[in-house]
Chain A
């Protein structure tokens, strides 16, 4: 997949960190119940660390993290979530679409088995078949297992501001995102402190502050999510690969990457 990345190449990492801090301060001052979407991946790790530094400096409570549990995480991911949240002392809420996860039969999810709300969600995104694969590769799987789980958590915990680690240079659908972006269904704002960070900046920040690194990055994965939809892009550690001239999410399902625009319309990050 080819596209022109939106790259903020002029600003130094220090300046981008300052921007992130301003965004974080603004959101934490204005919203009552902020959460941080956290996957233990490199981007959300940076966001979490920026927030942690800010709240520690200002003697505030660390907002809880929201971990989207689609049931296909690597063991390493779950271990890291557990370890870091314990060491850094903050709460993690596991957002799961229990109904959908309970209805998986031989790797498939039949729409008629789902509860009313999930059926509505499946139809909402225009899926008309009887069943879909238990996978994050398709728009319907991604929507039901990730977006619906996340939206339910937003409603359940009355979250008014949700921090995420999306960046301009990742995908064209994310390249025009703004720092604080209101959403309607359910009503809340998305807060995006590291939009101008490039993939390179994320690694620079990670090593500058000695952040924990998911072991799979070292094995050559550049973007990590589900066990079955993430693939290695090389045998070299992620930070040693040609970040500027190759596509970061090449290891992710390309169907889904192409559908990003649509997924985001229904609430995806």
Chain B
């Protein structure tokens, strides 16, 4: 019998908040799936933000292999272009060829028809995480033609006596704000609409359903609303406008609240599948593309994701409910997002062994995820003259390797050890010369012919 597949990515979910992984946020509905399935405890994301990680999930390749990744001075448009140009392995294509009907739901702009992420889906729906309709999103885009940001645009309209336009946009934006707050934004980001849609759909079996939920992605608190998130992050990181503890506390509360909301929506989905008698026979994968740093005690404390390979950014949850609710035997080691493709391919072939776990896994980054030069030139972050030096200092190429309890992060600009831990606790470099040598060798083989000092 053909296996139906659900791949649910809870964008930006770090695993340590979940009670399943010893955290303080209980997710009763996800727990139920975990009870029928297998909880993988050592999953590591291959990249540290949406495009790199999702490309890994769907291609089975690490960012350095599929090539869709940030660089020191590239903006979003370059990454979009790389996504459009990518023409390699893609399991959605293989499922399509096998006769699967592929259905996609996303609230993440990187995963939308704009990046041709809808290719090989019979239906792919992108919803605005802010509950905006197509018309309203058009109004937002429209308004930008009067100025590069909202303040500039408003200034332009008022100075040029365009009061009628100003009044129109003012009322539209006020309505949008009111509406999204009523819908629960920022703790709800349209996961409810996605599930409503699924509950009202009919299914052509076999099918593959991909969902990206954005609930736990920032903004997670009211103080972040209406400010550019890049401004918040980088001004904090460079010490220009520091996010205080009270604000971080709000973020943490909001993050947990948002997770509860996603969990509830997943519960609605499970309930529906059970009623339709599709639950037991399906493969259900719940994971994340990366975590979220919340200014943990690090050499460079940071709020957000991308830019670093901290545990809280790359250690993610991974729960797999196999068809027939079989409990497969887990191997010891780590799970990488690059093996999700293999998991799905194997499961549709009726093979349910542990293909996720490997002895050694990697995570990599190639620079900051935003074009800081441009942000600085445009005044979104405070202007810095030595921006390139800062980029190399704060966001060098990095690679992390996990093996036998150890994690090593190397700065690829100077080959220095940035982080060395054993089961999450700081380990002493000089006490483990052989481990360091072996892990350095692993990274050196992994980098291949990329210019990366190790």
Q: Are A and B co-members of a single complex?
A: yes
B449 within 8 A of A: yes
A28 within 8 A of B: yes
**CB of B341, distance to nearest CB on chain A (Å):** 12
Measured CB to CB, the nearest residue on chain B to A63 is B449
Given contacts A32-B64, A32-B65, A158-B65, contact A60 B449 (CB under 8 A): yes
Binding-face segment, B204-212, B369-377, B440-448 = B440-448
Quick one: which of A32, A157, A160 has the most chain B CB within 10 A? A32
B445 with A64: CB separation less than 8 A: yes
Docked CA distance A156–B444 (Å): 14
**CB of A244, distance to nearest CB on chain B (Å):** 39
B450 within 8 A of A: yes
Docked CA distance A86–B86 (Å): 40
B62 within 8 A of A: yes
Docked CA distance A116–B359 (Å): 18
Residues of chain A lying within 8 A (CB to CB) of residue B441: 91
Measured CB to CB, the nearest residue on chain A to B360 is A156
B449 with A93: CB separation less than 8 A: no
Q: Tell me the total A-B contact number using a CB cutoff of 8 A.
A: 32
A249 within 8 A of B: no
**CB of A62, distance to nearest CB on chain B (Å):** 10
Docked CA distance A91–B446 (Å): 13
Docked CA distance A116–B446 (Å): 27
Residues of chain B lying within 8 A (CB to CB) of residue A160: 65, 448
From B358, B444, B448, A32 is in contact (CB under 8 Å) with B448
B445 with A61: CB separation less than 8 A: no
Quick one: CB contact mask for B55-85 with A, threshold 8 Å, 1 for yes?
Answer: 0000000101100000000000000000000
B445 with A93: CB separation less than 8 A: yes
From B444, B446, B450, A158 is in contact (CB under 8 Å) with B446
**CB of B68, distance to nearest CB on chain A (Å):** 14
Quick one: CB contact mask for B426-454 with A, threshold 8 Å, 1 for yes?
Answer: 00000000000000010011101110000
**CB of B263, distance to nearest CB on chain A (Å):** 35
Which positions 152-168 of chain A face chain B at CB distance < 8 Å? 156-158, 160
Docked CA distance A93–B64 (Å): 21
Docked CA distance A116–B445 (Å): 28
A32 with B449: CB separation less than 8 A: yes
B449 with A91: CB separation less than 8 A: no
Docked CA distance A33–B442 (Å): 12
Docked CA distance A91–B438 (Å): 11
A28 with B445: CB separation less than 8 A: no
B449 with A157: CB separation less than 8 A: no
A196 within 8 A of B: no
Which positions 29-55 of chain A face chain B at CB distance < 8 Å? 31-34
A34 with B448: CB separation less than 8 A: yes
Given contacts A91-B441, A91-B444, contact A61 B449 (CB under 8 A): yes
Which positions 48-86 of chain A face chain B at CB distance < 8 Å? 60-61, 63-64
From B62, B359, B449, A28 is in contact (CB under 8 Å) with B449
Residues of chain B lying within 8 A (CB to CB) of residue A28: 449
Docked CA distance A116–B331 (Å): 13
Docked CA distance A156–B441 (Å): 14
Docked CA distance A117–B85 (Å): 37
Quick one: which of B441, B444, B448, B450 has the most chain A CB within 10 A? B448
Quick one: which of B353, B446, B449 has the most chain A CB within 10 A? B449
B65 with A91: CB separation less than 8 A: no
Residues of chain B lying within 8 A (CB to CB) of residue A64: 445
B64 with A157: CB separation less than 8 A: no
Residues of chain A lying within 8 A (CB to CB) of residue B446: 33, 157-158
A158 with B449: CB separation less than 8 A: no
Docked CA distance A91–B445 (Å): 9
Measured CB to CB, the nearest residue on chain B to A155 is B358
**CB of A43, distance to nearest CB on chain B (Å):** 24
**CB of B113, distance to nearest CB on chain A (Å):** 29
Residues of chain A lying within 8 A (CB to CB) of residue B358: 156
List chain A positions with a Cβ less than 8 A from chain B.
28, 31-34, 60-61, 63-64, 91, 93, 116, 156-158, 160
Give 5 pairs: A residue, B residue, CB < 8 Å, sorted on A.
A32-B449, A34-B448, A60-B449, A157-B446, A158-B446
Known: A32-B65, A32-B448, A158-B62. 20 other contacts (CB 8 A): A28-B449, A31-B448, A31-B449, A32-B64, A32-B449, A32-B450, A33-B446, A33-B448, A34-B449, A64-B445, A91-B441, A93-B445, A116-B353, A156-B358, A157-B445, A157-B446, A158-B65, A158-B446, A160-B65, A160-B448
Question: Which 6 A-B pairs give the minimum distances between C-beta atoms?
Answer: A33-B448, A32-B448, A157-B445, A64-B445, A32-B449, A32-B65
